[in-house]
Amino acid sequence: MKQILLIGPAPWATGGIASVNRDILRSPVINEKYDITMVETWNHKNWLKAFVFSLFKVHRHSKSADLVHIALSAGGGCYRKMLLQKLIHRKPYILHLHSGRFISFYRSQPAFFRRWIARFLNEAKRIICVSHTVAESVQKEFSISADNILCIYNGVHLSEKNAPKQTASPFNVLFMGSLIANRCIDEYLTLADSFQNDTGIRFWVAGDGTRNDWDMHNVTYAGTVQGAEKQSLLQQTDLLIDAFYYESFGLALVECMNAGIAIIGRRACAIPEILSDGEYGILFDNYSEIRDSICLLREDAAMLETYQRKAFERSLNFSMSSFEKSLSLVYDSLLYPSASQK
């Protein structure tokens, strides 16, 4: 059995990349064909310790690997992966790019580091991007051969049946993601602040982190939600707002769509692609448009129900089985090239 070394964040950690790594390790489709070893490069408990240990583990495990699969992000994570790539004994590697801000990160670096990053990408046997939007921008920026770059949407554990929403007052609006500035949490809370005198609407915040500087009676902080608690929150949610500028795919976005939640998303990065240019959700450019859309959906129950139904229908395009099969085909094409061409 061919051996694959998977390098990336700990599968038990929070975050989209960790979730994808976890799905790869648990996939029966992939693991019945390949022996996958995971080396953790980051965890939220002690990232420096995890990275130092990963240096030794990558050097050791890559000796027996037939292929190295590197989960790639922007920022410091990119440089850590470039250092680790030097330790894989010249084994072929693929890059699984999860970041929607990789191009802006790359352009902000000094010339020497830009050359290093470009060489890192161009020497990869394949670059997997999680949306066509990101794939097209990366291909253009780095002059990647069309044969070496492709899009594989992240897989989501989907419900095939759209459960009826728990329609009750108040109208529930959700933010889901890390409570950090680049996820636009401040803008979301500013929006909630503008509705403080409206008793018919409630804003929910679900994600890791704290914001003690915002204390409003119409905002509920649910923290990191999982399992039954998460399903209960999604079931009572009417509307999700995804205001992230650099959404490369949006696992939380698709999970909410699969729960039959209407979507208001920023017209940026891959959100228009996921929402098919507004067919399956409302796109916005500024926050006044969000407020107007919220008011519109609250007043028009039929329109709200239509967008909830459309969101669910669109979510079915991002199944876990599709992800597993697509990734397995990439592995096949590199490890069994003659068989995959038949």
Instruction: Spell out the domain ranges in the chain.
Output: 2-154+319-340, 171-315
pLDDT of residue 276: 96
Give the pTM: 0.93
> CATH second-level architecture of 2-154+319-340?
3-Layer(aba) Sandwich (3.40)
Packing angle between helix 320-335 and helix 16-26, nearest 10 degrees?
Answer: 70
pLDDT of residue 40: 95
Give me the average pLDDT of each 10-residue run along the chain (342 residues).
96 90 97 97 87 97 98 97 97 97 98 98 98 98 97 94 73 91 87 94 90 83 92 95 95 96 97 96 94 96 96 97 97 88 58
> Where does 171-315 sit in CATH, by number?
3.40.50.2000
What is the residue type of 153? Answer: Y
2-154+319-340 matches 171-315 in fold: yes
pLDDT of residue 167: 62
pLDDT of residue 163: 72
pLDDT of residue 45: 81
